[in-house]
Amino acid sequence: MPVEQSNEKSIIQKLDLDVYVKQFQTFLARDKPVAMMGDINQHYRYIQALSKVQFPIPKSVPNLDRELNMIKKQSVLSLDEIYAFVTMFSYFNTLKAVGFTEPLISWIQSIEIPEEIVEIIGYFTEEGTINPEKDPELFKLERALKQNKIDIKEMLYKLAHSSKLRDYLVDTQVHFNGGEETLLVRGGFNNAIKATVVARSPGGFFYIMPQSISHLKEKESALLSSKEVLIYKYCKDISAVFFKWERFLAFINKEYDRFDHYQARVSFARAKEYEFVLPSKQKHIKLHDFSHPAIENPVPVSINLSKQIMLVTGVNAGGKTMLLKSMLSAVYMSKYLLPFKCDVSKTEVGHYKSIEAVIDDPQSVKNDISTFAGRMQEFAKLFNKEDAIVGVDEIELGTDSDEAASLFRVMLDELRKKGITFIVTTHHKRLASLMASDDAVELIAALYDEEQRLPTYTFLQGSIGKSYAFETAQRYGVPVAIVNKAKKVYGEDKDNLNELIEKSTSLEREMRMKIAKIDDELKSVEKQKQKLQDEEMTLQESHRKAIATLENRYNAATKKAREALKVKESTEGRRLLNVAHQRKDFKQKEMQSVDEVPLKEGDKVKYRSHKGELISLRGKDATIIVDGLKMRVPLSQLKRRGDTPQVKVKSKPKQATVSVEKSGATVSVKLLGMYADEAIDTVDKFLSDALVNGLNEVQIIHGTGGGVLSRLVSEYLKKHPKIGKFYRMPGNLGITVVEL
């Protein structure tokens, strides 16, 4: 067995995944390593696409590497070996009728079976034999063999019911023994019939073949021999075709393995209701409602490892080792795209080059090594590793705990610098206290239910847990008197220390519950705030529509009044109409003065979809800076940024004629009929908008005329720092093309 496969088998056993992997392998069409070679992201896309459709389950096919080598040497394959290839060809033909989506459909459709191979598929029945309907000679042989078998059975039936053999027969049935049709008789049968003894039964009887059917057996043997010759001819001819298409056969064999990997994973996930997690590039593990496949009725694990070292402490038999195995198992299953049970929307698993588990006690009579020495050998190997995740169970095992704490503290720190992530379980408070202040260390405590005196199999991040050794001993049957005596020997000081640790854990848990409650309340307040803002915007929109409606009605009424005055002039009517106009203007100014706070230099503003800062005001124009770019825009198009929405009465800005729009910016502007200052201002605003919106090329339409606008535009463009190149449009000198 290769070293890599041996290491993989070892890690599977250490993480208690051997049963899980065996269950997965039952879904494979043929035995192969669990790992898939190639781009894992591409594999994930194919698996996801396959998960959306129903597909036929592939038939079992043996490994065909030896057969492919035989084909290269122009050897003749047996009928079974040929049919194994035919099974793969037929399966890919079947897949073409499945309603796949991309990328599966392109892959399956690209596998074209050559015509000669398609013809070979037609030779075979579903049982893997040559179809007699395709060959008259074979059909004749099959019919003759069938008739000969009928003749043998009829002959034996007559003998079994004959009077001279009746006294020696055990029964009147035809028995198959060693592939031969026989009769079962008692001793002394040779007085009644000449026959050959084929075998003896456990009861002391004889299986005999009467000499009267020997000629029929000889005929059967001759027919079978002729059939074998004919079958060999087929095998020889097909093997010759296979030699011609040897490279295609190697390709189809590889693609069958690839699809087998995909379909087995999808079928396994469907059967177990598991989920796929694609490994991320980030070196962290975030599990939510994860269940290790080896545990029946597990307590789901939700844990977050964002640091390089996780130190797990706490109650004995509280799930620390299983937490370690769960996290490494999630990495292993994610690495090879094996599905598992979790909340996939909240689960993230990083990708690591290798997975190591220092779990077992290496001490044994065979290897003549101590526990601690074995641990040191395991750690020595890690100094040659990079980009690995390592689980170490009971790190202080086998030596003085105080010395071990200092040693492991230094080794973990050095190995961390090599990019190795650690998950460590320990009962050693000194190691935990030495590492607690390190920002790269995540403390995890296994929790204990004091009331029920049982571990909860849940974990608290950011805390050191108590071992509860005495409670565990009592729970597993150690007498109470013994436990109490042990507590006295242990000492009050250490007991007080554990009590402080316990209180710290409880306070930490209480604090986290309060924080979670505050977070929920904060979310509720944020939702209420958003709701009020939405209601405010709705009211503002209703207010705007109401004003617009009233204004339309006002305009319609004044229009009718003016038409009436044209028919019959009235001084009083004119006066009242002027008063109405004055009141309308006063009311609009009053609303603007109440609802709108004037913009000033330094204000944070929003121009269309861009955020910027107002740096100067000039009449109805303003200069703003957006992403380091200064631009002059109409003041009326600016909005104040901030939490409180500002209600503004927008004036309709003067804009150049636009031919095409893209994200609020135009790709062309017309200057026809403009004065020099107006044209340069328009070009300046136009180019600012184009730069902010990321346009690469724009057009300035200035016409030919006397050439004044053309010269002004050219001079301006030469001095602009953001212009890469500009030129006149071929065939139309009235347009300048600008590359930004």
For residue 340, what is the domain's CATH number? 3.40.50.300
Whether 636 and 661 map to the same domain: the answer is: no
Does any domain span residue 127?
Answer: no
The mean pLDDT value of the chain amounts to 82
Whether 431 and 297 map to the same domain: the answer is: yes
Whether 696 and 634 map to the same domain: the answer is: no
Angle, to 10 degrees, between the axis of helix 708-719 and the axis of helix 676-692? 40
Whether 301 and 383 map to the same domain: the answer is: yes
pLDDT bracket for residue 647 (50, 70, 90): very low
Residue 193 confidence (pLDDT) above 60: yes
**Taking residues 393-409, what's their average pLDDT?**
72
Return d(Cα 321, Cα 393) in angstroms, integer: 6
* Domain boundary residue, one of 588, 608, 639: 588
Residue 293 confidence (pLDDT) above 80: yes
Q: What DSSP letter does each residue of 613-647 carry, written as one string? A: EEEEEETTEEEEEETTEEEEEEGGGEEE-SSSPPP
Does any domain span residue 47?
Answer: yes
**Taking residues 640-655, what's their average pLDDT?**
49
Q: What is the count of structural domains for the chain?
A: 6
Can you give the CATH number for the domain in which 201 is found? 1.10.1420
Q: Give the pLDDT confidence score for residue 601 in this predicted structure.
A: 85
Return d(Cα 470, Cα 457) in angstroms, integer: 18
Does any domain span residue 399?
Answer: yes
Strands (DSSP E) along 211-317, which ranges? Answer: 285-290, 301-305, 309-314
More confident residue, 508 or 175: 175
**Taking residues 581-602, what's their average pLDDT?**
62
pLDDT bracket for residue 595 (50, 70, 90): very low
Per-residue pLDDT tens over the stretch 525-578? 988 888 888 888 888 878 878 887 887 777 777 777 766 766 665 666 656 666
* Domain boundary residue, one of 588, 614, 642: 588
Can you give the CATH number for the domain in which 736 is found? 3.30.1370.110
Q: Give the pLDDT confidence score for residue 654 in this predicted structure.
A: 42
pLDDT bracket for residue 389 (50, 70, 90): very high
Residue 650 confidence (pLDDT) above 50: no
pLDDT bracket for residue 655 (50, 70, 90): very low
Q: Give the pLDDT confidence score for residue 653 in this predicted structure.
A: 44
The fraction of the chain above a pLDDT of 90, given in percent, is 32
More confident residue, 640 or 49: 49
Asked whether the beta carbons of 264 and 61 are under 8 A apart, the reply is no
More confident residue, 604 or 363: 604
Q: Give the pLDDT confidence score for residue 704 in this predicted structure.
A: 78
Residue 408 region by backbone torsions, left for phi larger than 0, else alpha for psi between -120 and 50, else beta: alpha
**Taking residues 217-233, what's their average pLDDT?**
92
Beta-carbon neighbour count of residue 552 at 10 Å?
A: 10
Out of 123-132, 561-570, 660-669, give the one with best mean pLDDT: 123-132
Report which of 506, 286, 307, 295 is spatially closest to residue 424, judged by C-alpha positions.
307
pLDDT bracket for residue 405 (50, 70, 90): confident
Whether 454 and 343 map to the same domain: the answer is: yes
Q: Give the pLDDT confidence score for residue 449 in this predicted structure.
A: 67
Q: Is the peptide bond before 210 cis (omega within 30 degrees of 0)?
A: no
Whether 343 and 481 map to the same domain: the answer is: yes
**Taking residues 68-88, what's their average pLDDT?**
95
**Encoded amino acid at 546, one letter:** A
* Domain of 370, in residue numbers: 285-490
Whether 385 and 466 map to the same domain: the answer is: yes
- The radius of gyration of the chain from alpha carbons, rounded to an integer in Å, stands at 44
Whether 313 and 430 map to the same domain: the answer is: yes
Q: What are phi and psi of 402, to 5 degrees?
A: -65, -45
Does any domain span residue 722?
Answer: yes
Return d(Cα 338, Cα 330) in angstroms, integer: 9
Q: Is the peptide bond before 479 cis (omega within 30 degrees of 0)?
A: no
Whether 583 and 625 map to the same domain: the answer is: no
Whether 383 and 300 map to the same domain: the answer is: yes
Whether 254 and 176 map to the same domain: the answer is: no
Does any domain span residue 279?
Answer: no
* Domain boundary residue, one of 540, 568, 588: 588
Chain centre distance of CA 501? 40
Return d(Cα 625, Cα 686) in angstroms, integer: 15
**Taking residues 474-497, what's their average pLDDT?**
63
Whether 42 and 164 map to the same domain: the answer is: no
Does any domain span residue 437?
Answer: yes
Does any domain span residue 706?
Answer: yes
Place of tokens 């902010």: 692
Lowest mean pLDDT among 274-278, 281-285, 702-706: 702-706
The fraction of the chain above a pLDDT of 70, given in percent, is 79
Q: Give the pLDDT confidence score for residue 646 in this predicted structure.
A: 44
**Taking residues 687-693, what's their average pLDDT?**
82
Does any domain span residue 124?
Answer: no
